[in-house]
Structure 1
């Protein structure tokens, strides 16, 4: 341990790390850490292709503690760590790792699966240990739709119950929703369901064809653009924040609307929505797999090294691929030419999934650079 133990209240919250001209060169804002691939669910889109039991090669407790020491090397303010999986609740030393992170001043959030392991007592314990937030997934507005994605009957009802329990114990929740060609039409119904609950953020994850997700179909660029325009409208009235994951051109859609209203670039950059500008795979985000492999994100499976052999600080700051992902001037195709690339930059994961090149254009965005309009 390189820094003396810190009181839980001093642990970093998401957003503590700031960019310089929309590049996160010194430190990511968030480290997503896949503690295990073990999970009780069998979700159709699972990036990790999770299985019931832990796979050989997972980082040991000693190695995991060493990773937390490495993360301290980013310096202040420290990145926030999201412990994910699989299901991080299936990791026997989870509580020890949460305590160790908090002692080091590293803020922790959790992305657990909705299984019997997650209940009121567990949520209360997580909150008391310093976990700052959790995420829950809701992929359909009815049991048939949601459970059809999660592949375990009863998951929808359990998720809705856990939303209420989390609110009762004071645990902030982000709800993640999968957007595919099959589910995109259900988004308004999911919104109506969520607006009656207490949550911090609704994040819509636009499918990346990796892991089991290769068996599902992405929505079309036109469908996506229409959905994003609708999201901008409901965001004004929603009792929670509305965000997108792996669909960074939501920022371009929002910026175009503000430009149409007469706002300058400087005025747009001063808006609350601009806090997310620039964040994408490898820029403000980095991922550690259960084996210790470091990739730009969980959806961009391009390993740049392993924490057992080299510090995550060095890998994030100095690896040529990581540095290239933080420089949109080097992107190719439409994303490279786009006047919004500093704010947006496109999904590098989707570019890689479609072309094998993480610097190529994001095919989900229909915008033609310089046109200032999108015909639907």
Structure 2
């Protein structure tokens, strides 16, 4: 179980790989249906997380979608066609809703796979997990923002959350549930990431997602990362893809890194020197080796999925407003008034976000813009413009030295059709509870 720790190479390390095997396309036209629908079922939550997008509160809002409105939302998701988009019930804490099991059951009845993303609190008991599993939930995602109770609980604002999270994680795994672990990457845990991956490897998860903070909600008060630090962490995430199935959220330039690393590996180039990686990257891979994460446990990495805000991804708030992402607070409609299918397919906001030619700044001139696009949420959070350049990306368009190989790779990828298959079919458990982006 391990992190790949590449050394400077003297010759090609890999057989050249088709871009279709490096970046996965959505199965269906992203303009017609999303890959995933996230529903903020409530803002009620007993935690006080430092980064909370929802600025969660102790009590439920009486204007939340009630049970019948939530069932109608599930029918609207099913109306996209079969197989329906993955539906993730999040919050706040969805366990604060007494109808949670009823809604999971109803989703199963109307042909919608439902995953749940609870807060790590004592409400996530073995009995409730058994009920979720019995209702047909497709997976569970939990947050782990530190490898120790001190680091995680400080970030989550309540003592004991670390222990409750591990208990829920192990219980869910013992019940046969698919578990995704999400880690919010901020300055507080940059140096703790290898130890977090060690925990993910030891406890087992179908996927580890490194979520790069978006400055919205309470997260506005947290310190930003420099573009150089982001590059170092993205390359670390690439390395640990041979330890655990790994992805990023709100770090779409990870797809650029995947293509760059493969091209450099094929050429036998030293990625550290060519990409100008810094001391944080060296520290992270050294620490990974110290933790025994240096022998490949997986045959291939999980290719990242080409999803972005409004392009395969849609968020519905607790009031029913429709957004391209939970971290992009621009509304395009409300499911109480307009069908979700119509909002997603025709609203000016969503159609605009699916057009890479509308991107501004460096993103607009970048050769990777059609496979990356940058975080539209972070662009909006920092500049107020959802089409502005990605603030946490330091890549200078055209600066990658192997442009010919890149152009060939991107051309083959573009001609591969509406869906790009993975290097091997993703295991069934990896096709369920994924917050891709």
Query: TM-score, normalised on structure 2?
Result: 0.77
Aligned position for 2:13: none
Q: Cα offset for 1:259?
A: 1.8
How many corresponding residue pairs? 347
Answering whether residue 305 of structure 2 is matched by residue 276 of structure 1, we say yes
Do the aligned residues in 1 keep the contact of 2:101 with 2:131 (CA within 8 Å)? no
Q: Cα offset for 1:19?
A: 4.2
Q: Distance in 1 between matches of 2:41 and 2:401?
A: 43
Higher RCO (C-alpha 8 Å, min separation 6): 2
Tell me which of 369, 388, 407 is aligned to 1:360: 388
Once the two structures are superposed, residues 297-319 of structure 1 have per-residue CA deviations (whole angstroms, 9 ceiling, x without a partner) of 10111111111111110000000
Aligned position for 2:233: 227
Tell me which of 254, 257, 260 is aligned to 2:261: 257
Q: Cα offset for 1:56?
A: 2.8
Q: Cα offset for 1:275?
A: 5.3
Change (3 A) 1:203 1:85: same
Answering whether residue 47 of structure 2 is matched by residue 78 of structure 1, we say no
Q: Cα offset for 1:373?
A: 5.7
Do the aligned residues in 2 keep the contact of 1:16 with 1:79 (CA within 8 Å)? no
Q: Distance in 2 between matches of 1:77 and 1:26?
A: 13
Q: Cα offset for 1:186?
A: 1.3
Do the aligned residues in 2 keep the contact of 1:184 with 1:219 (CA within 8 Å)? no
Aligned position for 1:106: 112
Do the aligned residues in 2 keep the contact of 1:300 with 1:352 (CA within 8 Å)? yes
Do the aligned residues in 2 keep the contact of 1:137 with 1:175 (CA within 8 Å)? yes
Aligned position for 1:300: 328
**Structure 1 vs Structure 2 CA RMSD:** 1.8
Tell me which of 146, 151, 159 is aligned to 1:145: 151
Q: Distance in 2 between matches of 1:152 and 1:313?
A: 39
Which consecutive residues of structure 1, in runs of 5 or more, have no partner in the other structure? 1-14, 264-270
Query: Which is worse superposed, 61-70 or 165-174?
Result: 61-70
Q: Distance in 2 between matches of 1:151 and 1:275?
A: 31
Tell me which of 366, 369, 384 is aligned to 1:341: 369
Do the aligned residues in 1 keep the contact of 2:247 with 2:304 (CA within 8 Å)? no
Runs of at least 4 residues of structure 1 off by over 6 A?
none
Answering whether residue 27 of structure 2 is matched by residue 18 of structure 1, we say yes
Once the two structures are superposed, residues 42-94 of structure 1 have per-residue CA deviations (whole angstroms, 9 ceiling, x without a partner) of 11111111111102311121211111121222112211100000011111211
Which consecutive residues of structure 2, in runs of 5 or more, have no partner in the other structure? 1-23, 268-299, 403-437
Do the aligned residues in 1 keep the contact of 2:42 with 2:92 (CA within 8 Å)? yes
Aligned position for 2:160: 154
Q: Distance in 2 between matches of 1:276 and 1:16?
A: 6
Change (3 A) 1:363 1:16: closer
Tell me which of 392, 398, 410 is aligned to 1:370: 398
Q: Distance in 2 between matches of 1:181 and 1:218?
A: 7
Q: Distance in 2 between matches of 1:273 and 1:362?
A: 24
Once the two structures are superposed, residues 70-119 of structure 1 have per-residue CA deviations (whole angstroms, 9 ceiling, x without a partner) of 12221122111000000111112111111111100000000001111101
Do the aligned residues in 2 keep the contact of 1:176 with 1:203 (CA within 8 Å)? yes
Aligned position for 1:167: 173
Q: Distance in 1 between matches of 2:74 and 2:25?
A: 17
Do the aligned residues in 1 keep the contact of 2:255 with 2:372 (CA within 8 Å)? yes
Q: Distance in 2 between matches of 1:181 and 1:199?
A: 24
Answering whether residue 345 of structure 2 is matched by residue 317 of structure 1, we say yes
Q: Distance in 2 between matches of 1:354 and 1:309?
A: 31
Q: Distance in 1 between matches of 2:167 and 2:104?
A: 25
Q: Cα offset for 1:193?
A: 2.2
Aligned position for 1:97: 103
Do the aligned residues in 1 keep the contact of 2:38 with 2:90 (CA within 8 Å)? yes
Q: Distance in 1 between matches of 2:260 and 2:140?
A: 32
Change (3 A) 1:17 1:103: farther
Q: Cα offset for 1:336?
A: 1.2
Q: Cα offset for 1:273?
A: 4.7
Aligned position for 2:293: none
Aligned position for 2:45: 39
Q: Distance in 2 between matches of 1:226 and 1:166?
A: 32
Once the two structures are superposed, residues 117-172 of structure 1 have per-residue CA deviations (whole angstroms, 9 ceiling, x without a partner) of 10111111111111011011111111111000111101111112222111111111
Query: TM-score, normalised on structure 1?
Result: 0.89
Do the aligned residues in 2 keep the contact of 1:108 with 1:131 (CA within 8 Å)? yes
SS in structure 2 of the partner of residue 195 of structure 1: helix
